[in-house]
A and B are shown apart, each in its own frame.
Chain A
């Protein structure tokens, strides 16, 4: 556990030692701010439902930029050999790296809590859907990060990691648009795998077992696959 935390701490500080973290935070929050203003201005409703939808869409593009370096950079720099010859289990390495990225993402998400404070000042928002909406976004971010870390474990090229990660996230996010074009038997599968359908419940205040299982099992699956990939050195 201490090693998992040591690696998580190293990952988190690595983000802040490069300008990339600050750029990502500034650009993302700025874009969120603009959309928040436009959505509230047009809807004139004290709800964050549409804001959550925009944030989810943005995370599809953002998360691979956060996670592409996680393993690819270590492999390219030769530090993977260092990590894997210390008495640290592969599980600790994967969990530590996941935790580091998740903490950075959580920080980004925490900065957006200010939107709730703003609508609380100027209206009477329904609080529960806001809470579940943030929870849903956090889970979704957690899933996207797990996918990103998995693809990063496949290659020593950060660009290749990001592109593969985009391919999987696009499939997860946009696949629902394919439903009218596929056989009826396949359509329910696509709806289940698609992230949009699951987050929709969270943003209206519903926490269902099905949605929670979707995110948690997705995260667990990606982390297990990452561990296997690290163990078998698939990038070789």
Chain B
């Protein structure tokens, strides 16, 4: 479903992504791990056609993102790190606007909006201005717009950040519900969450893909009981100085 071949991305002299390749099949739920500034958001932006890669090729559902970006965008639902919301709109107005931009036929719009409002537990606030809602609601509105056009591929950049445990559970269930129907790529810092949802893990460090394995395989190979142990092993708390002149912490600015 998603094929990435040798993707590199440079911002000026700085290499944010280095020669990344992977394939994700239909119906897979893949967790995407890495420290802040590792290049997760940059890679997600490339997969959603928002940023062009400096070199390399991405195929989604057999189409090249460079050539067929509009038709690929119809197949992708994307939640960016900060949910992209128009604060002066009500929840329903915003979803109607999203539906129009995402080519949902006018006669289906109402039903689709009602469905995502229900799926994301937003019915109660549907006529409230988004500006007045809490972060948890905003995050769910962001998810609602990502799934409103029933995309084949769902790319979620930290979908549960800012949510309370109950809401995290709801989002997790939402993602689990669509397993087998859609391909999901999600990034998060909450490792236990990935453990519960994803079957496969990609780990990125300083722009390089350092692991691409099934969850069980990864734990076994690293001799670890939890993903957190693996993550800390691969990213020791005192990260050494990057010989290319970038502290990993500073590289965070590509992601903001």
Measured CA separation A87–B103 after assembly (Å): 8
CB distance from A123 to the nearest CB of B (A): 44
Q: With A87-B70, A87-B73 in contact, do A81 and B84 touch (Cβ < 8 Å)?
A: yes
Query: Is A88 part of the contact surface with B, judged by Cβ < 8 Å?
Result: yes
Query: Is A83 part of the contact surface with B, judged by Cβ < 8 Å?
Result: yes
Chain B residues near A88 (CB-CB < 8 A): 70, 101
Q: B84, A82: Cβ atoms under 8 Å?
A: yes
The contact of A85 among B48, B71, B82, B86, by CB within 8 Å, is B48
How many chain B residues touch A (Cβ–Cβ < 8 Å)? 25
Q: A86, B73: Cβ atoms under 8 Å?
A: yes
Measured CA separation A91–B98 after assembly (Å): 17
CB distance from B94 to the nearest CB of A (A): 9
Q: Which has the most chain A C-beta neighbours within 10 Å: B76, B78, B84, B89?
A: B84
Query: Is A127 part of the contact surface with B, judged by Cβ < 8 Å?
Result: no
Contact with A along B21-63 (1 / 0, CB 8 A): 0000000000000000000000001001110000000000000
Contact with B along A61-77 (1 / 0, CB 8 A): 00000000000000001
Chain A residues near B86 (CB-CB < 8 A): 10, 14, 77, 79
Q: With A78-B82, A87-B74 in contact, do A3 and B100 touch (Cβ < 8 Å)?
A: yes
The contact of B84 among A14, A18, A78, A89, by CB within 8 Å, is A78
Q: A84, B101: Cβ atoms under 8 Å?
A: no
Measured CA separation A88–B61 after assembly (Å): 19
Query: Is A6 part of the contact surface with B, judged by Cβ < 8 Å?
Result: yes
The contact of A84 among B50, B100, B102, by CB within 8 Å, is B50
How many chain A residues touch B (Cβ–Cβ < 8 Å)? 20
Q: Which has the most chain B C-beta neighbours within 10 Å: A10, A81, A86?
A: A86
Measured CA separation A17–B89 after assembly (Å): 8
Besides A6-B100, A10-B97, A82-B80, 15 other CB < 8 A contacts? Answer: A7-B101, A10-B86, A14-B86, A17-B89, A77-B86, A78-B82, A79-B84, A82-B145, A85-B49, A85-B73, A85-B76, A85-B80, A87-B70, A87-B71, A88-B70
Spell out A's residues near B (CB within 8 Å). 2-3, 6-7, 10, 14, 17-18, 77-79, 81-89
Spell out B's residues near A (CB within 8 Å). 45, 48-50, 70-71, 73-74, 76, 78, 80, 82, 84-89, 97-98, 100-103, 145
What are 11 residue pairs bridging A and B, where the CB atoms are less than 8 Å apart in the complex? A14-B88, A78-B84, A79-B86, A81-B80, A82-B98, A84-B50, A85-B76, A86-B102, A87-B70, A87-B71, A87-B102
